Structure 1
Amino acid sequence: MNESALAREQAAPAPGSSSELVLQVEDFTLSFSETAEKNLIDGVSFQVERGKTLCLVGESGCGKSVTSLALMGLLASPPARIRRGRAMFGGRDLFALSEREKADLRGNEIAMIFQEPMTSLNPAFTIGHQIAEGIMRHRHLSKAEARAEALKMLQIVRIPAAESRLDAYPHQLSGGMRQRVMIAMALANRPKLLIADEPTTALDVTIQAQILNLIRQIQEETGTAMILITHDLGVVAEVADHVAVMYAGRIVEQGPVDEIFNDPQHPYTIGLFGSIPTLGRRQGRLATIKGSVPPLELMPKGCRFSPRCPFSDSRCHEQVPPSPLLGPNHRAACWYAPLEQKLGALQ
């Protein structure tokens, strides 16, 4: 089976599934150079269902944010070049849309919450103006009607004294309140898909919990599908329905959140779980994944994790591993999956 066929298989809905697919990404491959021998994003496939949350997980630099920006049509081309693949949303391929079509989708049917609201909000305009601007752009309401909608959104995201905040500037709000404003802006036009890129990283733990709870409640009320990008496995455990683990531009494992947490099957996923601190008295040092992500030009031909993997052999370095179905919608791109069976046979 070639890589493109494998990617289509990985992205295909489970047999008998009746869930409504909002987004289906198949074999997404991207580079930032025409002459690059290896792709920055390579054969990524996943899907998101209505009312469900897919968490993209992985360490910094693995390609999570680049993937989200490509879906939003926010990567400049050139230098970004989509080599192959498609992203089907409402019967349209997001990668094949014109700039005008992308602009009509952004902030309307697809919306994004960025990591740092202080750099995403315009310091020169009031909160009310910035929310109303997107509403007027896509719903063609008057200024008064859009302002009323902006107030309603601030109330929905539970900003206290919402009416007085309409005329406040971003610097007059706390970090948590600014992030609530970003959520209000993203949800103002009732998008079918919400992409949240590390939306709570800059917030303290208490505010983080409030923001995640707020997003989850609104999602349940509206049926919005969500892609949540994070490296925080605690956040994943709290909000995810489905998890896709990325490493060096590829998805190495994906499946239902319970399957991934209870039975991880890729050595990289296992390494991520082993590095999580636990409450109580520490017993020895935290586990670490030896080495570091190699630069793109030094990536092996096969599994990109093979230079750091304790189980790798020559085949791992030379051949791209298959991604067998290990459970309901659970796949791991590893020659040794399922680990218990194959590694046990080697002992």
Structure 2
Amino acid sequence: MLDHTRRKSESDAAHPLLKVENLSVRFDGAPAGINVVDDVSFAVAKGRTLCIVGESGCGKSVTALALMGLLPTPPARIVGGRALFDGKDLLALPDRERADMRGNQTAMIFQEPMTSLNPVFTVGDQITEGILRHRKISKAAASERALEMLRRVRIPAPEKRMRAFPHELSGGMRQRVMIAMALANEPQLLIADEPTTALDVTIQAQIIALIHQLQKESGMAMILITHDLGVVAEVADEVVVMYAGRVVESGPVEDIFADPQHPYTIGLMGSVPSLGRRQGRLTTIPGTVPPAELMPRGCRFSPRCPFADQRCVSDPPPLIELSPGHRARCWYAPLELHREPIR
């Protein structure tokens, strides 16, 4: 079964819908040579889910906004790489063509629906506007499509909610509205940027299950940005672990969970609570993600890593392939050869 899954993953990777190659983003005023997203590469195929994980400040959201063409310029500038979407480089498209794709072939769900929805327009008007922007249909037909989408995301009394304003809805219902808006034009690629951050645990599970079910029904590709490894284990096909703007590990979800090979990935997994009787305390990773002005010269994780030595401090490690599709950016991978901290 695992071999079949691996072969399918490799086949999909050979024909990705989106292929990001060496994406680099820089903010004005950052120290010379320091990018907030640095040489990031990954791919996602139709019907597949790629999860990007990491702490706040690791560059996950900046990566997503760069792909959607939503980074404010200035201060942000894309200084390298390309993003091939169905053969077209998203990063090289004219603004008008990019806007025509956004909300149509590509769509995004944001972290906080209250700040993403317009408070002075009804839910129905906001969903209908997006449909009319990309489809040559009547306003009545667009309104009917909006109502259909509210039904699909399982909002109770959808006819009533069409006339409601965002502040009249709960956080969970507002996020369902955002999902309805994102999927109204049947995009080929959905980017969901921590879509459950502001919701309580029960509603989080419902929203993730809803997005996953709608994805299976439509066959779209999805990039899910999250810090919740429980969600990753449930929905991901491939995983990208980011730290301080760089990919530190990537590969099929089975490999990442069964054999994590970067100390940062191991630290993230050790910090996840589990059901049942607890054996000792949860693992913590000392320190924080460094700001641009304090970025280490070598491995960006070296100040927090128990394995780091002088080479880690002075030389940035390459992203090396450990097994088919499984890569890690560490001088000491595979870590089985270094069971004890080197310090």
What TM-score bracket applies, with the shorter chain setting the length? over 0.9
1:233 aligns with 2:229: yes
The one of 22, 42, 45 aligned to 2:17: 22
| Cross-structure match for 1:148 | 144
1:324 aligns with 2:332: no
Report if aligned partners of 1:55, 1:242 keep a CA contact under 8 Å in 2: yes
Q: Which runs of 5+ in 1 are unaligned?
A: 1-12
1:18 and 1:307, CA in 2 relative to 1: closer, same or farther beyond 3 A?
Answer: closer
Q: Hey, what's the Cα distance between the residues in 1 that align with 2:294 and 2:168?
A: 47
1:318 and 1:243, CA in 2 relative to 1: closer, same or farther beyond 3 A?
Answer: same
| Cross-structure match for 1:263 | 259
1:128 aligns with 2:130: no
Which residue type is aligned with residue 327 of structure 1? S
Which residue type is aligned with residue 180 of structure 1? R
Deviation, 1:300, is 2.0
Deviation, 1:285, is 2.5
- Higher mean alpha-carbon deviation, 157-166 vs 146-155, is at 157-166
What RMSD, in angstroms, separates the aligned Cα atoms of the two structures? 1.8
SS in 2 for 1:55: strand
Q: Hey, what's the Cα distance between the residues in 1 that align with 2:58 and 2:94?
A: 28
| Cross-structure match for 1:112 | 108
| Cross-structure match for 2:206 | 210
**Matched residues, percent identical?**
68
| Cross-structure match for 1:166 | 162
- Matched positions, count: 333
Deviations 1:55-103 (A, max 9, x none): 1100011111111111111112121111110111121111111211111
Report if aligned partners of 1:14, 1:329 keep a CA contact under 8 Å in 2: no
Deviation, 1:258, is 1.4
SS in 1 for 2:17: strand
Report if aligned partners of 1:117, 1:179 keep a CA contact under 8 Å in 2: yes
Q: Hey, what's the Cα distance between the residues in 2 that align with 1:177 and 1:254?
A: 33
Deviation, 1:323, is 1.9
Deviation, 1:39, is 1.2
Which residue type is aligned with residue 294 of structure 1? P
| Cross-structure match for 1:9 | none
1:340 aligns with 2:336: yes
1:36 aligns with 2:36: no
Q: TM-score of the superposition, structure 1-length normalised?
A: 0.91
Deviation, 1:225, is 0.5
The runs of 4+ residues in structure 1 deviating greater than 4 Å are 13-19
| Cross-structure match for 1:184 | 180
The one of 272, 280, 305 aligned to 2:301: 305
Q: Hey, what's the Cα distance between the residues in 1 that align with 2:263 and 2:275?
A: 24
Deviation, 1:19, is 5.6
1:299 and 1:46, CA in 2 relative to 1: closer, same or farther beyond 3 A?
Answer: same
Deviation, 1:335, is 0.8
Deviations 1:144-181 (A, max 9, x none): 11001101111111112212221111112111111111
Deviation, 1:298, is 2.2
Q: Hey, what's the Cα distance between the residues in 1 that align with 2:64 and 2:208?
A: 19
1:279 and 1:22, CA in 2 relative to 1: closer, same or farther beyond 3 A?
Answer: same
- Higher mean alpha-carbon deviation, 271-280 vs 131-140, is at 271-280
Which residue type is aligned with residue 261 of structure 1? F
Which residue type is aligned with residue 200 of structure 2? D
Deviation, 1:35, is 6.5
| Cross-structure match for 2:88 | 92
1:14 and 1:317, CA in 2 relative to 1: closer, same or farther beyond 3 A?
Answer: farther
Q: Hey, what's the Cα distance between the residues in 2 that align with 1:16 and 1:245?
A: 22
- Higher mean alpha-carbon deviation, 266-275 vs 170-179, is at 170-179
Deviation, 1:343, is 4.9
1:291 and 1:259, CA in 2 relative to 1: closer, same or farther beyond 3 A?
Answer: same
Q: Hey, what's the Cα distance between the residues in 1 that align with 2:67 and 2:11?
A: 27
Which residue type is aligned with residue 118 of structure 1? M
Deviation, 1:281, is 3.8
| Cross-structure match for 1:68 | 64
SS in 2 for 1:21: coil
SS in 2 for 1:272: helix
SS in 1 for 2:276: coil
Q: Hey, what's the Cα distance between the residues in 2 that align with 1:327 and 1:86?
A: 25
